[in-house]
Amino acid sequence: MRLLIGAVGKAKAGPEQDLFRQYCRRLSPAPILKEVEEKRPLAGLQLKAREAELLLAVLPEGAKVVALDERGRDMGSVDFAEKLRGWRDDGAQDVAFLIGGADGHGDAVRERADLLLSFGRMTWPHMLVRALLAEQLWRAHSILTGHPYHRV
């Protein structure tokens, strides 16, 4: 099953990007990162709608879509791994994880998502969310393969 991470904004060099890359390298194949950015000076709902268009445009056809959203479902790591296992076992070819811009996701992303996922009620910097997601993908892999990384 191929993994894609669609994110608004370009990553800058730094510890968050290093951590993201470190966890992605552990996965085979590594998740594909698609960064999108709106250059025009849009604001509010217009910007969210445009960012949603850009994110949806990078989705592989038929992909399962997980939108990271503060209003999403709060899942434990084992539940997350089981969700991925279910999609894999049902024949999903691609799973795409979408990280919105500073104002969150536009309605089109939320409507397209198969799962709205929250990393808790706190607000996280978008570059750190990439690293958190990559770590949880590695953790899910370790749970599903019996690797000792995940301990309860």
pLDDT in tens, 77-130: 999 999 999 999 999 999 999 999 999 999 999 999 999 999 998 989 999 999
Q: What is the per-residue pLDDT for 25?
A: 97
Kindly tell me if the per-residue pLDDT of 132 is higher than 90. Answer: yes
Query: Is the separation of the CB atoms in 146 and 35 below 8 Å?
Result: no
Query: Which residue type is seen at 106?
Result: G
Instruction: Please give the torsion angle defined by the CA atoms of residues 138, 96, 40 and 69, in that order, rounded to the nearest 10 degrees.
Output: -70
CATH entry, 2-145, from 3.30.390.50, 3.40.50.2000, 3.40.50.620, 3.40.1280.10 = 3.40.1280.10
Q: Where are the domains of the chain?
A: 2-145
Whether residue 152 is predicted with pLDDT greater than 90 in this model: the reply is no
